[in-house]
Homo-oligomer: A and B are copies of this chain.
Amino acid sequence: MKIDIHAHILPRDWPDLTERYGYEGFIRLEHHCPGCARMMLGDKCFRVVDENLWNPDVRIEECDRSGVDVQVLSTVPVMFSYWAKPDDTHDLCKLLNDHLAEVVQKYPRRFVALGTLPMQAPELAVIELERCIAQLGFAGVEIGTHINGRNLDDPEFYPVWEAAEQHGAAVFVHPWDMMGMKDLPNYWLPWLVSMPAETSRAICSLMMGGVIERFPGVRFAFAHGGGSFPATLGRINRGFTMRPDLCQTHTETEPRELFKRIYIDSLVHDPLILRFMVETFGSERIALGTDYPFPLGELVAGELIESINEFSPATKERLLSGTALEWLGKSRESFETPSSRAHSDALHAAHVTP
């Protein structure tokens, strides 16, 4: 069984947000040819996307081809819109989450949803989180690595973690609005250099700020293999122990310990690094993630995990679905899998055959 915890989706259409809210800065999709569209910010196209981004049927076909049983759907981080007026972001979140709910309702055994929240207004974020989980049946939420420059250890966000804990919501943390962007105009460096740093920033803030320990019931997972965090953990832990005056202001528990309480996805594009991650942190903390349908993702879901001969079948299964199920708080039985399909076919055959 394969569950992909890192897959993005957008509606095919949404209202003109500049018209709706009265100011610029929002993303729109421009459908310029059949099956493809431009993601536009103002007059600037910043990404060309295909139908698999918005069409769940195309998506299911592609999942079938690469053997993905379940995709955990979240919005594209450029839609977070934390910079906008809180009520407008809240309204946009509702639009996006309602669309997510529709898709999951149509294919409840193939998709799981993570909602998006107006994090810049924690009190509204709590309201939308509760709606996502209690009313729409989502497994959790996706948030950014910081909220308009405020790090995730800011006590302003405690109510959100409290609500996540109370509702059993999984929290997927994804980089956005990357540090240093203005000085990295070339070579896609905000994606290649700053995104991994953003994720490390979020993990370090949650750990050293004491959030992981204060809210032990929140199941945090981090995109792109935890960014640069796992491979620089030696340095981070060293800093933590050598400068307690700077690093241990909120907790004395070392990052090397706290890593056992968070999850990361497997999207590292490097068998040796994935092996290192499994060796260091255990397959228990790592779940398949592909960044579907974007080009920095893993095009054949699970290919990297399956390619590593040193991994036992049990390790591979844990990486491909076991960790995801635990993180989502779901049972294997809640999804349609090849084996459950075979099982129900067999039952059906038993009933119709005399």
Residues of chain A having any CB pair with chain B under 8 Å: 146, 149, 151, 153, 179-180, 183-184, 186-189, 191-194, 196-197, 200-201, 204-205, 208-209, 224, 227-228, 230-240, 242-243, 246-247, 249, 267-270, 272-273, 276, 279-280, 295-296
Contacts and interface: CB of A to CB of B under 8 A. Distances in A.
Contacts of A189: 201, 204-205
Contacts of A232: 192-193, 196, 227-228, 231, 268
Given A205-B189, A243-B188, A247-B188, A235 B197 contact: no
Contacts of A276: 231, 272-273, 276
A196 B236 CA distance: 10
21 contacts: A180-B197, A187-B204, A187-B249, A188-B243, A189-B201, A189-B204, A192-B204, A192-B236, A192-B240, A196-B235, A227-B232, A228-B228, A234-B269, A234-B273, A235-B268, A235-B270, A238-B269, A239-B296, A242-B295, A272-B276, A273-B276
Given A193-B201, A231-B273, A272-B279, 20 more contacts: A146-B183, A149-B183, A151-B184, A179-B194, A186-B205, A187-B204, A187-B249, A189-B201, A189-B205, A191-B239, A192-B204, A193-B197, A196-B200, A196-B235, A227-B228, A228-B232, A231-B231, A234-B273, A235-B268, A273-B276
A205 B185 CA distance: 11
Contacts of A188: 239, 243, 246-247
A183 B209 CA distance: 15
Contacts of A272: 276, 279-280
A267 to B, nearest CB: 8
A197 B236 CA distance: 13
Contacts of A235: 192, 196, 224, 267-270, 296
A126 to B, nearest CB: 24
Chain A, interface SS category: helix
In the A-B complex, the 6 residue pairs with the smallest Cβ-Cβ separation, listed nearest first, are A231-B231, A234-B270, A179-B180, A234-B269, A228-B228, A197-B197
A228 B276 CA distance: 14
A147 to B, nearest CB: 11
Nearest to A148: B183
A193 B204 contact: yes
B179 A197 contact: yes
A239 B232 CA distance: 21
Contacts of A233: 270
Contacts of A205: 186-187, 189
Nearest to A245: B188
Contacts of A208: 186-187
Contacts of A151: 183-184, 186
Contacts of A149: 183
Nearest to A146: B183
Contacts of A231: 228, 230-232, 270, 273, 276
Contacts of A180: 179-180, 197, 201
